[in-house]
Amino acid sequence: MSKSKFSHLPLSTRGPIECAVNGTVLLNTPYFNRGSAHTPEEREEFNLTGLLPQSVQTLEQQTKRAYEQYSTRPDDLAKNTFLTSLKEQNAVLYFKLLQDHLKEMFSVVYTPTEGDAIQNFSRLFRRPEGCFLNIENMDRVPHDLAQWGKPDDIDYIVVSDGEEILGIGDQGVGGILISTAKLVLTTLCAGVHPNRTLPVVLDCGTDNENLLSDELYLGLRQKRVRGEKYDKFVDEFVQSARKLFPRAYIHFEDFGLTNARRILDHYRPEIPCFNDDVQGTGCVTLAAVMAGLHVSHQKLKDMKLVVFGAGTAGVGIADQVRDAIASEKGISKDEAAKQIWLVDKPGVLLTDSKLDNGQRFFAKDVSSWSGQDRSLLSTIKAVHPNVLIGTSTVPKAFTEEIVKEMAAHTPRPVILPLSNPTRLHEAVPADLLKWTNGKALVATGSPFDPVKGPWGADGEEVSIDIAECNNSVVFPGIGLGAVLCRARLITDKMLVAAVRGVAALSPALRDDTAPLLPGVEEVRNVSVRVAREVIKAAVEEGVTTEEEIPDTDADLEEWIREQMWEPVYRPLKRVETLGASREARAELKVVGSLEDIRDKQQRVQG
């Protein structure tokens, strides 16, 4: 590997790793342990002779063995458990295995299999990972967080209260697994250093009766706490995290419908934070929409959007589209919102509907809808949208009549049925393409096989690839950019820049039968582009705190790549314990280690 002009950076991933431990302590440290791949020199230097079989193997050989072991597991949940065990032993091998088999293993390490693991958290539990904070022991929050490192040790925190997990609802303390899964994706997809992340769950109880009646359930056995006490608990976490880890980016994940947007709106003006359900879904969806509009020779400023399903995801998408329209046209958000209609169970949202704060922005004046019913079909007939998005979880809601009505007024309708799991999709791609004679530009919330039909020149059969609106092509790159530039805030312009970064890499821009979004196998390159655009926007907005950020695209990309963690075995360099870093002493992501307890108390007290 050639030397980079940025190899002096603290997060550079070149050169040897300092190590002050040896023997079984080293082998029990996932970021040092490389098992049978330790060289003969390392085995002698770090007192590993006699602790390992004699044969020295390569990472590639280890990956082959691990894949064979993985393949023997009888089902996806067992495979998920195997991967978790591997991660606890050897971080490099774990991520290398995932990287080499990303397309195959993505659904095992994340949705839908991670949802099964979360539901079975208390039954599959072997050892804890992450920070468990208890609403009934609020005074301990600063102490419990302080155990996870010094101020510069943590770059990225994912926190969940477990109320609305992956479409399976309230999972209580099992929410810790969605925090760990998201952090796996930030490393896998964007090279965020795995030792510098922290998964957190806020245990507020649960309203899931199955968990409350399960004698093995590991969380607080009480109804979910809400109201003032809940808000105080969240604030105690946020303020403690900011005080203890002032450079960390906070990612809120799978909070309940009534809290997700409210919490984000409260803290967003103050700290660098992000909610993937609100903003990530909106960003990746907008990227697909922008690619679809480009393919169909339409402009964002001319968009008329109908969103069916006005919950957290639907309103989050509407927000991102509104912000992008406002940015492109140079108009207010209120004015941009006039191009977006939200439809929920009662029908199109009007000013006389029961509305939450997020929905209120998009409600149309009731007087403008007099004499019409409020159904989705009536909305399509009245609005003539060129983009239709589904987040309703109402199966087959996009009927043939609705789709043909839409297609009658726009040459290439952009239709995105996003509800998960697959059985809840508003329509399947094969029907959408059939009903529009292959003209629809489609992306979905779950993977679908390509669709074949007679839609080519002179009725020639063509195969159309279907994009999956997977947040993982957006949120890791946003987080990477925010971490590297040490952003004070995550602004609207930074998110719009991220969207444009993804949309610019759409395969459909070169071939309209290709997917609207890049696939997960391209995600690391996508994350570099997203991080680049986010950092450029942050510099323009004046919210960066990192110094000497390169100002050309080429240098900025090299600067980003130099700091992205890769699953490779770097040489170990022996250093003395006295004066060694916490990383060298095997203390990163370790609680109750050699750190002086008085030092920790001083940090908690301020």
- What are 399-416's pLDDT values in tens digits? 999 999 999 999 999 999
Strand partners, 341: 306
pLDDT value at 167 more than 80: no
Q: What is the mean pLDDT of residues 234-242?
A: 98
Q: In angstroms, rounded to a whole number, what is the distance separating the alpha carbons of residues 411 and 302?
A: 14
The reported pLDDT for the residue numbered 434 is 97
DSSP for 44-103, written as a single string: HHTT-TTTS-S----HHHHHHHHHHHHHTSSSHHHHHHHHHHHHHH-HHHHHHHHHHTHH
Q: In angstroms, rounded to a whole number, what is the distance separating the alpha carbons of residues 70 and 33?
A: 20
Q: In angstroms, rounded to a whole number, what is the distance separating the alpha carbons of residues 537 and 513?
A: 32
287-339 pLDDT, tens digit per residue, is 999 999 999 999 999 999 999 999 888 998 999 999 999 988 999 999 999 99
Cis previous bond, 16, omega within 30 = no
Strands lying side by side in the sheet with 131-134: 131-134, 197-203, 156-160, 249-252, 273-275
Catalytic residue among 79, 182, 536, 589: 182
Q: Quick count: other Cβ atoms within 10 Å of Cβ 27?
A: 20
Residue from 313, 334, 314 nearest 323 by CA: 334
The reported pLDDT for the residue numbered 599 is 56
Question: Distance of alpha carbon 153 from its chain centroid, rounded?
Answer: 21
The reported pLDDT for the residue numbered 511 is 92
Q: Which region among 84-93, 108-117, 483-492 has the lowest average model confidence (pLDDT)?
A: 108-117
User: Residue 356 — very low, low, confident or very high, per pLDDT cuts 50/70/90?
Assistant: confident
Q: In angstroms, rounded to a whole number, what is the distance separating the alpha carbons of residues 356 and 305?
A: 20
Residue 182 annotated to the active site = yes
Sign (positive or negative) of CA dihedral 551, 556, 560, 563: negative
Residue from 409, 357, 354, 356 nearest 380 by CA: 409
Q: What is the mean pLDDT of residues 61-84?
A: 97
**Can you tell me which residue has the tokens 């991660």?**
87
pLDDT value at 109 more than 70: yes
187-219 pLDDT, tens digit per residue, is 999 999 999 999 999 999 999 999 999 999 999
Q: Quick count: other Cβ atoms within 10 Å of Cβ 248?
A: 25
Q: In angstroms, rounded to a whole number, what is the distance separating the alpha carbons of residues 438 and 463?
A: 10
Using alpha carbons only, give the angle 575, 580, 585 rounded to the nearest 5 degrees.
90
DSSP for 283-345, written as a single string: HHHHHHHHHHHHHTT--GGG--EEEE--SHHHHHHHHHHHHHHHHHHT--HHHHGGGEEEEET
Q: Which region among 98-102, 139-143, 423-427 has the lowest average model confidence (pLDDT)?
A: 423-427
The reported pLDDT for the residue numbered 603 is 55
Using alpha carbons only, give the angle 197, 560, 101 rounded to the nearest 5 degrees.
65
Q: What is the mean pLDDT of residues 148-153?
A: 93
**Cβ 550 vs Cβ 562: under 8 Å:** no
Q: Which region among 109-113, 239-243, 536-540 has the lowest average model confidence (pLDDT)?
A: 109-113
Q: In angstroms, rounded to a whole number, what is the distance separating the alpha carbons of residues 148 and 153?
A: 8
Burial 431-447 (b: 16+ CB within 10 A, else e): bbbbbbebebbbbbbbe
Q: Which of the two residues, 606 and 343, has the higher pLDDT score?
A: 343
Could you tell me the two tokens for 365? 């004046």
455-478 pLDDT, tens digit per residue, is 988 889 999 999 999 899 999 999
Q: In angstroms, rounded to a whole number, what is the distance separating the alpha carbons of residues 305 and 108?
A: 34
pLDDT value at 595 more than 80: no
**Residue 208: left if φ>0, alpha if ψ -120 to 50, beta else—which one?**
beta
The reported pLDDT for the residue numbered 596 is 52
Q: Quick count: other Cβ atoms within 10 Å of Cβ 546?
A: 16
**Cβ 532 vs Cβ 319: under 8 Å:** no
The reported pLDDT for the residue numbered 600 is 52
Residue 110 annotated to the active site = yes
Q: What is the mean pLDDT of residues 513-535?
A: 95
Q: In angstroms, rounded to a whole number, what is the distance separating the alpha carbons of residues 64 and 405?
A: 53
Q: In angstroms, rounded to a whole number, what is the distance separating the alpha carbons of residues 280 and 186?
A: 13
Burial 551-583 (b: 16+ CB within 10 A, else e): eeeeebbbbbbbbbbbbebeebeebeeeebebb
Residue from 253, 382, 234, 227 nearest 306 by CA: 382
The reported pLDDT for the residue numbered 592 is 65
Catalytic residue among 110, 230, 249, 569: 110
Q: 3-class DSSP state for residue 517? A: coil
* Percentage of the chain modeled with pLDDT above 90: 83
The reported pLDDT for the residue numbered 472 is 93
Q: Which region among 36-45, 112-121, 206-215, 566-575 has the lowest average model confidence (pLDDT)?
A: 112-121
User: Residue 446 — very low, low, confident or very high, per pLDDT cuts 50/70/90?
Assistant: confident
The reported pLDDT for the residue numbered 85 is 96
pLDDT value at 3 more than 80: no
The reported pLDDT for the residue numbered 372 is 78
Contacts of 148 (CB under 8 A, 6+ apart): 131, 154, 198, 589, 591
Q: What is the mean pLDDT of residues 593-606?
A: 53
Which pTM value belongs to this model?
0.92
pLDDT value at 575 more than 70: yes
Q: In angstroms, rounded to a whole number, what is the distance separating the alpha carbons of residues 264 and 279?
A: 10
pLDDT value at 579 more than 70: yes
Cis previous bond, 421, omega within 30 = yes
Average pLDDT value over all residues in the chain: 93
User: Residue 245 — very low, low, confident or very high, per pLDDT cuts 50/70/90?
Assistant: very high
Give the count of alpha carbons within 13 A of 316, CB side only. 24
